[in-house]
Structure 1
Amino acid sequence: MPGYEQKYEPCELETAVLKLAPYTPSLHTRPFFEGVSKHPELFRWTPTARFASADGVDDWAAKVMADPCRRLFAMIDKTRVGAGPAGHSAPEGAVAGIVALIETPDQLMGEIGLLFTLPAFQRTHVTRTAVALLLRLAFDELNLRRVQWRCQAENTASVRAAERMGFQKEGVHRWNRVVPPGVPGNTPREGDPMPESMGLHVLFLAICWDDWEGGWAERTKGLLEKHV
């Protein structure tokens, strides 16, 4: 859409149990890095190489946030006040991970991505509440038509999480992504110009405005009103 521009204002989204705060390296990098550094399995299904240091997280986050169409949030579990990693105070709650809303504004489309929920917060209210908040932002405030979710088809945990929130499977895009060297994936053919970088077959799921207005908005409201 020629001439269409999206300008973001920083925003916080929250319920009684979770806050999505704009990612701030000085507040969030160290507890996030300490959370992921002990769990290399978190990178099994991501196109992101494992972070070697807190500085590596900062460099990655800076690249993410340099794109004005990406909103990167820290997920703050408000039920765990004072429960930060050793040496960290957590007056508002513990850093439970990160998530982003990535927009394609000229197509009125968004994507929920860059989702890392730390192991101590998995299978709790954290992921579902974060996704619900982003869906409400996307459809009720930004008036997007479509929000998508991408993952490898074999990542059943991610697929289930998306489907629980109303996302519908649309199909697999084969060889959709080239990942950094060292990140697992499908082996390219002999003579490939990037032989050290594997490829990913990516499953697309989506929830659209008519799904939202057809019942998922009300279901999401119920999720956001839960205290745990």
Structure 2
Amino acid sequence: MADIMNEMGQPIGRPVATELPRPRPEKTRLEGRFCALVPLDVTAHGDALWEAFSLDASGANWTYLPIGPYANKGDFRQFLQGAEASHDPLYFTVLDRDGHAVGHATYLRIDPLHGVIEVGFIHFSPKMQRGPMSTEAMYLMMRYVFETLGYRRYEWKCDALNAPSIAAAKRLGFSFEGVFRQATTYKGRNRDTAWFSVLDSEWPALKARFERWLAAENFDAAGRQRASL
């Protein structure tokens, strides 16, 4: 759709069709076939998350997070207590099919007035990586944003040096928008931030891709995907 012009011949953009503001995300359960996302609960999830994250013996999964790693379970639980109480970021625990906590992700920079929201603080343990749970978790969060909450824009941001995160954003259908140089600092170092997004108009086609990939017939008896996302 072309931008509209005002009476002075200036392009002023397309009118907003979405009713604003949009509702804030709630502490709800997002159910899938391979996993579920539930509001983070320290009592229910703390020990399992500590054990799952401890499988990353090198600590490499913490490198590009502004938090951690934690030297002991007590410090980790203190972080989780703050995360449980937070509303932005809004933390969700990822549960596997047996109900075990295996990772977390959040909605953050929540902007109901403009219908914009970001996904971030994604920490998937080795139990989730390179399997369908990680893809389905991102699909469930995106579906909730676009279909239940009716947001216009869904963002993904990461350190511009974080090659795995950049690859994941592209695989999941986010469009690269550029790099904000010296956007922030963390852990005593500079961060140039890479920006990605999905728009509401792009969601129907992207949803179809996710659902084809997540379909039972796309996995063989050993659980390996037949066709890539």
Inter-CA distance 211–7: structure 2 relative to 1 (3 Å threshold)? closer
Aligned to 1:86: none
**Contact 1:13–1:20, Cα closer than 8 Å, also in 2:** yes
* Residues 175 and 200, structure 1, Cα contact 8 Å, conserved in 2: yes
Q: Which runs of 4+ in 1 moved over 4 A?
A: 3-8
Q: 1-side partners of 2:143 and 2:181: how far apart?
A: 30
Indicate whether 1:141 and 2:148 are aligned.
yes
CA-to-partner distance for each residue in 1:127-174, whole Å, 9 max, x for gaps? Answer: 111000000000001101111111122222111111111101111111
Structure 1 unaligned segments of length 5 or more: list them.
82-91, 184-196
Structure 1 position 34, deviation (Å)? 2.1
Q: What's the offset of the Cα at 1:8?
A: 4.8
Q: 2:107 aligned with 1:101, yes or no?
A: yes
| Secondary structure of the structure 1 residue equivalent to 2:127 | helix
Matches within 5 A, 1:1-228: 6=23, 8-39=25-56, 40-78=59-97, 81=98, 92=99, 94-102=100-108, 103-179=110-186, 183=187, 197-213=188-204, 215-226=205-216
Whether the 8 Å CA contact 1:100–1:114 is kept in 2: the answer is yes
What is the distance in 2 between the residues matched to 1:4 and 1:107? Answer: 6
Contact in 2 for aligned 1:98/1:117 (Cα 8 Å): yes
Larger Rg: 2
Q: Per-residue deviation at 1:38?
A: 4.8
Contact 1:152–1:201 (CA<8 Å) still a contact in 2?
yes
SS of equivalent to 1:132: helix
Displacement after TM superposition at 1:49 (Å): 2.9
Deviates most, 203-212 or 102-111:
102-111
1:77-108 residue CA offsets vs partner (Å, 9 max, x unmatched): 11xx3xxxxxxxxxx3x322111122222221
Does 1 or 2 have the higher relative contact order (CA < 8 Å, sep 6+)? Answer: 1
Measure, in 2, the Cα distance between the counterparts of 1:176 and 1:119.
29
Alignment partners' CA distance in 2, 1:134 and 1:144? 12
Deviation for aligned residue 1:224: 4.3
Amino acid at match of 1:51: Y
Quote the offset at 1:46 in angstroms. 1.6
What TM-score do you get using the length of structure 2 for normalisation? Answer: 0.77
Shift of the 142–223 alpha-carbon distance from structure 1 to 2, 3 Å rule, reads farther
User: Could you tell me which residue of structure 2 aligns to residue 84 of structure 1?
Assistant: none
Structure 2 gap ranges (5+): 1-19, 224-229
Deviations 1:45-98 (A, max 9, x none): 2222312233323332333344434321111111xx3xxxxxxxxxx3x32211
Letter of the 2:41 counterpart: T
How has the CA–CA distance of structure 1 residues 172 and 53 changed in structure 2, closer, same or farther, with 3 Å as cutoff?
same
How many positions carry a matched residue from both structures?
Answer: 196
TM-score normalised per structure 1: 0.77
RMSD: 2.2
Matched residues, percent identical?
22
8 Å CA contact 2:36–2:94 kept in 1: the answer is yes
